[in-house]
Copies of this chain bind each other. A is one copy, B any other.
Amino acid sequence: MKRRDFLKVTGLGAAGATAMAAPAIAQSMPEIKWRMTTSWPKSLDTLHGGAEMMAKVVAEATDNKFQIQTFAAGEIVPGLQVLDAVQSATVEMGHTATYYYFGKDPTFTFGSSIPFGPNSRLNQAWYLLGGGKELLNEFFKGYNVTSLLAGNTGCQMGGFFRKEINTVEDLKGLKFRIGGFAGRVMQKLGCVPQQLAGGDIYPALEKGTIDAAEWVGPYDDEKLGLHKVAPHYYYPGWWEGGPMLLALINLDKWNALPKYYQSVLEQAGHFSNNWMMAKYDTVNPTALRKLLAAGTKLHAFSPPIMEASFKAAKELHSEVSATNANFKKVYESLTNYANNGYSWFQVAEVGYDNFMARHSQS
């Protein structure tokens, strides 16, 4: 064989091989760029940080082939329009607390937490293995979105109050900044719930336009400085016992993804979930100490207030269930799971935590 023939044939062979190999590469890892909008300002580095972490590990796990650019509230759409932006495919996905959308349908509440819902561990267990994910995604389908677990704040605080509240009577007429569905429980107790964006809370509380305000927990709360104008800090935030954050994904965009990218996204959500919970558990203790050092007075809600709130919440859930079949279905699933879960959780876990809480000194 002549050298020229050899080269020619070799060339053919190589081209043939490349043509064969190309589909394998394309199938293997297509380059995809998505945008994710969140309900959070960048300053909430636990919540917005969780979304950023999710995007980061998606890129890491796909050798940067699947890239998600994260946008804070207001950069593309306002923080409370994440659902709409995902539904309309303005962005492929979002990171949010779905109870923000309870005005569209109170069933959205279950994607984060309902008043007197389970703690973080049982809430996510319900979502993962208790049928929660399937029920919620069936409901979300009506909005052309699907969801993945993507964070948790743990049990939140009950907020800052200008005056001490001891009895249910003290709640009457109280102008309380409280988010979402929980405001309707507060109304039953005689409170006047107020919807205010994060930045508007401090001036309203300072002027006395409102009497109290809840936000998240020590780390996020301390940034708002509410303790400077309302010294009484109550717990627990029974309307957010273990709220989940979900990644909402446009259903068409989700279905168009290769199965393995769907899996990568799901796993990234698990990372984000665990990272966020760990982050809160790392930064909240220090923030709480700072608040206490600044003169904040820590109080538990009194037993009569807790009992009345529990009763009011159960009433509301029954009322909504009576007129909303979706709400009823998801409520029964979550409540059965949580009651069952607590029947075990209260034994070893709660016993151990009570002991450890008494024996830990920092």
Contact = CB atoms under 8 A, between A and B. Distances in A.
B10 A351 contact: no
A307 B41 CA distance: 46
A80 interface: no
A241 interface: yes
Given A1-B1, A348-B236, A281 B341 contact: yes
B24 A267 contact: no
A116 to B, nearest CB: 7
A327 interface: no
A48 B107 CA distance: 36
A17 B129 CA distance: 47
A316 B348 CA distance: 23
B352 A288 contact: no
Q: Which of A10, A156, A237, A278 has the most chain B CB atoms inside 10 A of its CB?
A: A278
Contacts of A75: none
Contact of A118 (B156, B350, B356): B356
Nearest to A130: B282
A223 B327 CA distance: 37
Contacts of A286: 340
Contacts of A89: none
A351 B130 contact: no
A28 interface: yes
Contacts of A237: 348
Given A28-B28, A267-B61, A274-B270, A342 B356 contact: yes
A85 B281 CA distance: 35
Q: Which of A149, A157, A361 has the most chain B CB atoms inside 10 A of its CB?
A: A361
A236 to B, nearest CB: 4
Interface string A232-252: 000111100100000000000
* Interface size grouping (class) on chain A: 35 or more
Contacts of A300: 351
Contact of A359 (B57, B116, B353): B116
Interface string A63-81: 1010000000000000000
Given A156-B348, A288-B343, A352-B238, A25 B16 contact: no
A44 interface: no
Interface stretch (A92-100, A137-145, A257-265): A257-265
Interface stretch (A119-127, A203-211, A317-325): A119-127
25 contacts: A1-B5, A1-B9, A14-B16, A15-B17, A17-B21, A21-B21, A25-B25, A61-B264, A63-B258, A63-B260, A121-B154, A128-B275, A129-B282, A236-B348, A236-B355, A241-B352, A241-B356, A274-B274, A281-B345, A300-B351, A310-B359, A338-B360, A339-B360, A341-B360, A350-B354
